[in-house]
Structure 1
Amino acid sequence: MAVLTNSHVTGLTREQYEGMAADLTDKLKAAPGFIAHYAWEQEDGMNVVEIWDSYEQHDAWFDKNVKPNLPVQVIPEKHELTNKVTA
């Protein structure tokens, strides 16, 4: 079953996020196991939720492409999904 990751990045501004997203979106879409990405701004930073086929696929992507660009260390929360329904 698919997995969900939730990363809260304290101190990351919307502008910084949008710059990273512009550079990484096409690569993310092509990443093995990637299903979905959602992000929103909070008072103290950005929150990002992703859905992947496996934790290993997420971690490989995150460690190589995202982690080096973040202003702070982030350890994503991970949750195995019980169900997934898509349109």
Structure 2
Amino acid sequence: MTVLTKSVVTGMTREQYEKTAAALIDQLRATPGFIAHYAWEHEGGMTVVEVWESAEQHDDWFDNNVKPHLPVEVNPEKHELANKVTA
């Protein structure tokens, strides 16, 4: 089931995010199940939303590649999508 994940990373600056993203983006694009990634800065941190083919694929990627780079513990929200339309 396709899932949308949302991670709020309190205390992460835009510069920290950009450094981490630059190191991981090519690998992320090549990871099975990855569909989309969006990020924005908010007061006090960064928010990252991703779309994956399954929660398991997201969790494997997140636990092994993203978590080690985060300044705080993050537990992404997961939402099963009822529909997905792309260009």
TM-score between both structures, scaled by the size of structure 1: 0.99
- How many residue pairs end up in the alignment? 87
Taking the aligned partners of 1:17 and 1:86, their CA distance within structure 2 comes to 26
Taking the aligned partners of 1:34 and 1:9, their CA distance within structure 2 comes to 20
Which residues of 2 match residues 1-80 of structure 1 at below 5 A? 1-80=1-80
- Identity between Structure 1 and Structure 2 (%): 74
**Per-residue CA shift, 1:13-43, capped at 9, x if unaligned?**
0000000000000000000100000000000
Residue segments in structure 2 that go unaligned for 5+ positions in a row: none
> Displaced runs of 4+ in structure 1, greater than 3 A?
none
Tell me the CA shift for residue 2 of structure 1: 1.0
Taking the aligned partners of 1:35 and 1:15, their CA distance within structure 2 comes to 24
CA RMSD of aligned residues (A): 0.4
Taking the aligned partners of 1:38 and 1:2, their CA distance within structure 2 comes to 16
Taking the aligned partners of 1:66 and 1:41, their CA distance within structure 2 comes to 17
Taking the aligned partners of 2:50 and 2:56, their CA distance within structure 1 comes to 13
**Per-residue CA shift, 1:23-71, capped at 9, x if unaligned?**
0000000001000000000001000000000000000000000001100
Taking the aligned partners of 1:85 and 1:33, their CA distance within structure 2 comes to 16
TM-score between both structures, scaled by the size of structure 2: 0.99
Taking the aligned partners of 1:14 and 1:20, their CA distance within structure 2 comes to 10
DSSP 3-state at the match of 2:35? strand
